[in-house]
Structure 1
Amino acid sequence: MVKISLVITKRYKRTIIESTPVILMGSLLTGLVMSYLIIWATVGLDPLSFFTTFYQTLVSYTGLLESLLFLTILGTAISIAFYGSYWNVGAEGQYVLGMLGAIYVVMFSPLSGFLSGNDLVSAAVLKLAAILLGGALGALWSLIPGLIKVFTKISEIPIMLLMNYIAYSLSDYLTAGPWKGRYTYGYIRTDMISESARLTVIPGLETLRYEVVIAAIVVLVSIYLILDHTLLGLKFKFLGTNPTALKSSGFDERKVTVSVATISGFIAGLAGAMRLLGYDYRLPYNIGDGKTGFYGYTAILVAWLSFRDIRFIVPSAIIVSALSSFGYRIQMSLKGLLPPGISAYAFSQIFIGTTLIVYTLTRITKEFSVKLVIRR
């Protein structure tokens, strides 16, 4: 009788070929070639257009840096939640709540002089208050499904997905109702926030803001230190890998879940607040129609690609931001080549999907050795 078994063991010794930078570059190049072959065989796109578009994506680094920073912040928020087995798929809603908190402070709160013409506090304090309230609302939005989970054992995933749409609806209600702008030329949206309430543009890098760069670094380093050098981080890891050991050590599993939900939501809300203050400057109507950039959803991919390792958040964010930007650009090259009924957007995702599959499989084989054992 023949017995076939699959033996999976964790690797501890790795070669230079198995290092993360090599995997990153190898995956990008392999995915690039494979996806071009698929597109060429399907619609006959010439290689010059394809590789020129890819080159243009790489050299327009300022646009990549903008999305990289937000994906780093949100990817970190989601990753710390995943550490504690809190599956935060609601970062999109928390991001929107952060935007709502920010615009309230700088436009409608007693601190703001937007309506009266006189700010009660300095611009720096006003912006800080807006960012903190945005973070607080994001934390609250994450805490609601967290509390439901710890007290009723109901999964947070469907609740969070539902709350994302509630956040969209709340934003649209405020935008079309009490917060509707007076100077919007007939469009349904809020007024623009004042110049003094906006984040600071970095000279020469007009798509970047000093505050966003600082926030990305502080969030990434802080969460890394919390997870690797504090008791709270140890609790998060135990909750995600061995909750029985957490209980045996005398810690309350519910309190740890609430903590990880609050921290994760606060960071996501902070990102939304900074997006509004630094880039959007107003709330649009129908915000759920891609007007958030879907950063909250895209960042789930960043956290997943990092394999819950904070050190790999930035490389993962680089991959995702580059692929997303390339996907948008390649759509222009595909126009006129596709048969009726097939969207250019669908074809643009071939490169993204191929590269991510290669990257994921390579990362898995880097971490684990897989052998097929046949016994007679």
Structure 2
Amino acid sequence: MSAEVDKTETAEAGKPPRDTRALLREIAESNSLVVVLAVVASLIIGGFLIVLASPAVEEALGYFFARPADTFKAAWDAVSSAYSAMFRGAVWNYNGDTFAQQFRPITETLTMATPLIFAGLGLGMGFRAGLFNIGAQGQMMIGAMLGAYVGFAWNLPPVLHLIVAVTACALGGALWGFIPGILKARTGAHEVIVTIMLNYVAANLLGFALSKDAFQRPGSDNPQSPAVADSAAYPLILGDNYRLHLGFIVALLAAVGVWWLMERSTWGFRFRAVGANPNAARTAGMNVSIAIVGVMTIAGALAGLAGSAQILGTERSLTAGIAGSFGFDAITVALLGRSRPLGTVMAAILFGGLRAAGPALQVQAQLPIDIVLIIQSLIVLFIAAPPLVRFLFRLPAPSREKVVTA
């Protein structure tokens, strides 16, 4: 009997305490770890793609059986040079001659992340309310169009001009979000279909506006508006050496506001209740239609603010490509951030870094910029398939999933 006790005590001695084991298991089952490992898996697979795209590796493969070490060295050099170039392009350029050159990459990352934060916050609100809003792209365009017109056509005092221009951007996006919201609430029209169609309407409306004298830059045949006045532009936070503007601070404040709205306010509780179970929310006396319209309108306003980051921050002139692909990338940002404000901000910074690293990857590592797009796509793939990530890294399934499976 004592021998069995000794064996048990010996076995238990090699294990961490029960509290520690419970904590480790909770971490292993968490969705946050899945998100981190999804990014890690994407970078690992991206490394293999970098090896395949490297001319040096291709050359070394030609005499692999004669000198195999050359192939492995070329592969390592290709991956290390590519990811170091991405680091220098997105975080810190340690090869820069001056401090300004060294520090500029992180500011570019934050600048690129600003519209993604705005749009991702709006889409995340929709996801938590059970609405899959695909219209951030069009809402950005309409917001940028109205903000641009106020910026270059109106003559107002400096601070007031910026406030009015930003408000115009938010109102434009809110209008473009209100339309699918009211259609969903009143007719049951699916928000995915409506928002996708409104993206095309917004793009064509923007192109039409740029062909008119009111939006056409004088003396230019290009579809481009006059530059917004300095009084309507976001001030630069760190001076003329960097592009980081006040819109980034506004985006962080918007994240705090969305957190308070969704987690601490009555309206946020209604939005989340409608997303969890609209029938139960209706039975409890909540007006589901007003909640749907409200979420879509607020989401549109946030996407319009993303347009303000472009037109009043970095671009300063309205063009057909003012929204870029930010509206669509924001879908991934919201999913990667689990539709939570803090997660959305962190995911936006990650994607902003990938955007900022693209030119460095192309110029310094001599690799196609498409590698960055592939890494982004892989992140989307792994985020959309958590069981695949858990299988690859041998993570336990969450307890609630086991109950459902059982």
Q: Does 1:351 align with 2:375?
A: yes
Q: CA deviation at 1:327?
A: 4.3
- 1:234 counterpart = 2:269: yes
Larger radius of gyration: 2
Q: Distance in 2 between matches of 1:372 and 1:161?
A: 37
How many Å separate the matches in 2 of 1:67 and 1:152?
Answer: 37
Match of 2:344 in 1: 313
Q: CA, structure 1 residues 75+12, in 2 after alignment: closer, same or farther (shift >3 Å)?
A: farther
How big is the shift at 1:279?
1.7
Greater mean deviation of Cα atoms: 198-207 or 182-191: 182-191
Specify the code of the residue in structure 1 equivalent to 2:175: L
Residue 63 in structure 1 maps to residue 87 in structure 2? no
Structure 2 SS opposite 1:217: helix
CA distance in 1, matches of 2:265, 2:390: 28
Query: Residues of 1 paired with 2:202 and 2:177: CA distance?
Result: 12
Q: 2:295 and 2:229 mapped to 1: Cα distance?
A: 35
CA distance in 2, matches of 1:178, 1:14: 64
Would you say 1:326 and 2:341 are equivalent positions?
no
Contact kept, 8 Å, 1:134 with 1:269, in 2: the verdict is: yes
Q: Structure 1 residues 305, 12: closer, same or farther in 2, change over 3 A?
A: farther
Shift of 1:49: 3.2
The unaligned stretches of length 5 or more in structure 2 are: 1-21, 58-74, 93-104
- Partners of 2:86 and 2:345 in 1: CA distance: 20
- From 50, 53, 62, the equivalent of 1:39 is 50
Mapped to 1, the partners of 2:29 and 2:363 lie a distance apart of: 36
Task: State the alpha-carbon separation in 2 of the partners of residues 25 and 37 from structure 1.
Answer: 19
Matched residues in 2 for 1:66 and 1:218: separation? 15
Q: Deviations over 1:222-268 (max 9, x none)?
A: 11111111111111111111112211111111111111111111111
Conservation of the 8 A alpha-carbon contact between 1:328 and 1:348: no
For 2:216, the equivalent position in structure 1 comes to 181
The number of residues matched between the two structures is: 343
Give the Cα separation in 1 of the matches to 2:277 and 2:24.
Answer: 25
Residue in 1 that maps onto 2:244:
208
Shift, 1:353, TM fit: 3.0
Query: Aligned to 2:244, what secondary structure does the other structure show?
Result: strand
Using structure 2 for the length normalisation, give the TM-score: 0.75
Residues 138 and 266, structure 1, Cα contact 8 Å, conserved in 2: yes
* Structure 1 residues 36 and 363: CA distance shift in structure 2, 3 A: same
Q: Equivalents in 1 of 2:169, 2:390: separation in Å?
A: 35
2:157 paired with 1:157:
no
Q: Match of 2:242, SS?
A: strand
Distance change (3 Å), C-alpha of 1:32 and 1:173: same
One-letter amino acid of the counterpart of residue 300, structure 2: G
Is 1:368 the equivalent of 2:398? yes
Matches of 1:366 and 1:326, distance apart in 2: 34
Q: Displacement, 1:296? A: 0.9
User: Residues of 1 paired with 2:245 and 2:128: CA distance?
Assistant: 29
Q: From the superposition, tell whether residues 349 and 309 of structure 1 become closer, same or farther in structure 2 (CA, over 3 Å).
A: same
Aligned with residue 73 of structure 1, among 118, 135, 145: 118
Whole-angstrom CA distance in 2 between matches of 1:125 and 1:295:
27
SS in 1 for 2:338: coil
Q: Distance in 1 between matches of 2:26 and 2:49?
A: 32
* Equivalent pair of 1:24/1:315 in contact (CA under 8 Å): no
1:232–1:27 distance in 2 versus 1, CA, 3 Å: same
Q: Which amino acid aligns with 1:227?
A: M
| Percent identity (aligned) | 24
Tell whether the 8 Å contact from 1:147 to 1:258 is kept in structure 2 after alignment.
yes
Kept in 1, the 8 Å contact 2:354–2:372? The answer is no
Evaluate the alpha carbon distance shift between residue 351 and residue 182 of structure 1 in structure 2; reply closer, same or farther with a 3 A threshold. Answer: closer
Name the structure with the higher strand share.
1
Q: Which shifted more, 221-230 or 31-40?
A: 31-40
Local SS of the residue matching 1:131: helix
Query: Which secondary structure state, in structure 2, belongs to the residue aligned with residue 209 of structure 1?
Result: coil
Report the equivalent of 2:298: 263
Do the aligned partners of residues 245 and 366 (structure 1) sit closer, same or farther apart at CA in structure 2, a change above 3 Å counting?
farther
- Letter in structure 1 aligned against 2:343: F
The TM-score normalised by the length of structure 1 is 0.81
- Give the number of the structure whose residues are more often helix, by fraction: 2
- Say if 1:346 and 1:269 are closer, same or farther in 2 by CA, change over 3 A: same
Q: Please point out which of 296, 299, 302 is paired with 2:327.
A: 296
Shift of 1:181: 3.4
Return the offset for 1:26.
4.8
RMSD of Structure 2 on Structure 1 (CA): 3.1
Query: Aligned pair in 2 of structure 1 residues 16, 168: CA closer, same or farther (>3 Å)?
Result: same
Equivalence map 1:135-154=2 (5 Å): 135-154=170-189
